[in-house]
Amino acid sequence: MILDTLQHAARYESLHPAFARAFAFLTTTDLAALTAGRHDIDGDRMFVIIDHKDGRGNDGARLEAHRHYIDIQYTMAGLEEIGWMALSQCREPAGAFDEDRDIVFFDDRSMTWLAVGPGQFAIFFPHDAHAPLGGRGLLKKAIVKIEAGRT
């Protein structure tokens, strides 16, 4: 897991061959002009989901994990809080892994919470369980999904 501001995104470009393109998209695109939903950047290899949702608070945020995608969760507006837990520490799956949606949920409760304000991003790798939408009020986010195994 990584937490930083978009201003410092170049520090992380060497971690995955597609990160430079993802950060360039976040910095050069008028994200506010994009409608809610999925927008392809590079087909299924990289796309962005624009979310305009009300936060659920820490108690309503559910831990989730992905096997095939890395998430870069960028807050556009509102104060997002995202729970984090190492996937290896999760003991209570809330169902089977959904291969089509690349997601599994957990009933475990996060003990670590990240405040992710406007202009900040958090990166979650397949070994990171995370609980998005832990903030309150309207949250506007861009979630870049990057296929973990390809460039």
Domain boundaries, the chain: 2-28+35-147
Interval 67-73 mean pLDDT: 98
- 3 — pLDDT class (breaks 50, 70, 90): very high
Pairing of strands 37-42, 46-54: antiparallel
The burial class, CB within 10 Å (0-12 / 13-18 / 19+), for 44 is exposed
Q: How far apart are CA 8 and CA 22, in angstroms?
A: 13
* Distances 97 to 101, 104, 105, 107, 140 between C-alpha atoms, Å: 9, 5, 8, 13, 27
CATH 2.30.30.240 fits 2-28+35-147, yes or no: no
DSSP H helical ranges for the chain:
19-28, 57-60
Residue labelled with tokens 């989901």: 49
Close Cβ partners of 78 (under 8 Å, ≥ 6 residues apart): 55, 118, 135, 137, 138, 139, 140
Close Cβ partners of 109 (under 8 Å, ≥ 6 residues apart): 63, 83
* Tens digits of residue pLDDT in 92-138: 999 999 999 999 999 999 999 999 999 999 999 999 999 999 999 99
Please give the pLDDT value at position 94: 97
Q: Quick one: what percent of the chain has pLDDT higher than 70?
A: 99
Interval 136-143 mean pLDDT: 97
Please give the pLDDT value at position 28: 97
